[in-house]
Amino acid sequence: MTKTVQVHVGDTLELVGKRFVDAWRRAERGELTPENAELHVGFESWETMVRTLSPKRLELLRHVHQHPAKNIRALAAALGRDYRRVHEDVEALEAAGLLDRDKEGVRAEYDAFDVQMRVAL
């Protein structure tokens, strides 16, 4: 089963609220389980998303998806990158909800992004 992160860019507070209420109601009815749980990540703007999902960070996510890392040092070595930069990238991706990090290591437990975007002009 493919697990997809729903990425939302530029959503209004009203849309975020509706999505939350809908998920709450589905959970109360027993329709949401750990197996079909949804992961939603929101970015305020296109610029914020692009800063967070830079090419180097996407490379890191792809690598971690295929090869979960024991720690940041091991991840930096596997990527051939500076520890400090990889640490910054892991922190940013973890803060955005796109990486999981705990005593067992660093993981990206999804297969794809589905991006929905609203760009105000």
Mean pLDDT by 10 residues, the chain (121 residues): 82 88 88 80 90 94 95 96 97 94 92 81 74
- Domain definitions of the chain by residue range: 4-117
Enter the pTM of the model: 0.81
Residue 1 confidence (pLDDT): 58
Residue 2 confidence (pLDDT): 66
Rounded Cα gap, residues 40 and 115, in angstroms? 10
Residues 105/72, Cβ–Cβ less than 8 Å: no
Give the chain's radius of gyration (CA, Å). 16
CATH class of 4-117: mainly alpha
